[in-house]
Amino acid sequence: HDDDVILTARDAGDGAAAAKAIGADFHALDVTAPASIAALGDWLKAGGRVIDVLVNNAAVALDGFNAEVARKTIDANVYGPMRVTTAVLPFIPDGGSIVMVSSGVGELSGLAGPIRRELTSQSLTADKLTALMETFVTDVTEERHREAGWPSSAYRLSKAGVNALTRILAAELAPRRIKVNAVCPGWVRTRMGGQSATRGIVEGTRSILWAATLPDDGPTGGFFRNGRNIPW
């Protein structure tokens, strides 16, 4: 049967139009605004809705690199999926799926050793991940991020952060058989990707759909491109 789709977006006009075009329900959502996320939760509850698959796709790629860019990027790209997942989790049944739309630029090989070790630590929790991201923002603000080993790209670190969050949630939600995976859709022709990107929208969604429709015994806690494992 056809699955019901709920599409969310910051821009209500664009979002509603896109939802109408694909026959989806629409609800406004700003992943950086706790009140907006709470409103989504209230709406899901009021409608008795069940979310079999949550796709955390919202992200920003801002120009430049300074304290404000660092703060806004981490807020949208790491804390956004963290907040939304927490809000939507009560509506996800056991055996459900969560897909984090990440990027190959978040591969750990691009990060300094100490930071790589912290992000891959088995004892990493959501709170510790948040503290780590806050340290990055502080170090950028105080212009000491290079000495501390941070990359000069908030987007790169934010995607490494999303990947770490994927592993944390996969372990936490394993008792409920909820699969949590990160995918890299490739370079896609969207507003963010630009018109010179190598993949169209349909090709870009394949990795996401693959992770969203995994069988019950499918992988969890992995990072995939084109259905294949790629390095953290």
Task: List residues with catalytic annotation.
Answer: 155
User: What is the spatial distance between Cα 193 and Cα 207, in angstroms, rounded to a whole number?
Assistant: 16
User: What is the spatial distance between Cα 145 and Cα 140, in angstroms, rounded to a whole number?
Assistant: 5
User: What is the spatial distance between Cα 88 and Cα 168, in angstroms, rounded to a whole number?
Assistant: 17
Alpha carbon of residue 150 to chain centroid: 20
CB hemisphere CA count around 210 (13 angstroms): 22
Angular region, 95: left φ>0, alpha ψ -120 to 50, beta rest: left
- Alpha helices (H) in 47-88, listed in sequence order: 67-74, 80-88
Paired tokens of 140: 């950028």
Contact, 119 vs 106, CB < 8 A? no
Query: Which amino acid makes up residue 67?
Result: A
User: What is the spatial distance between Cα 154 and Cα 196, in angstroms, rounded to a whole number?
Assistant: 22
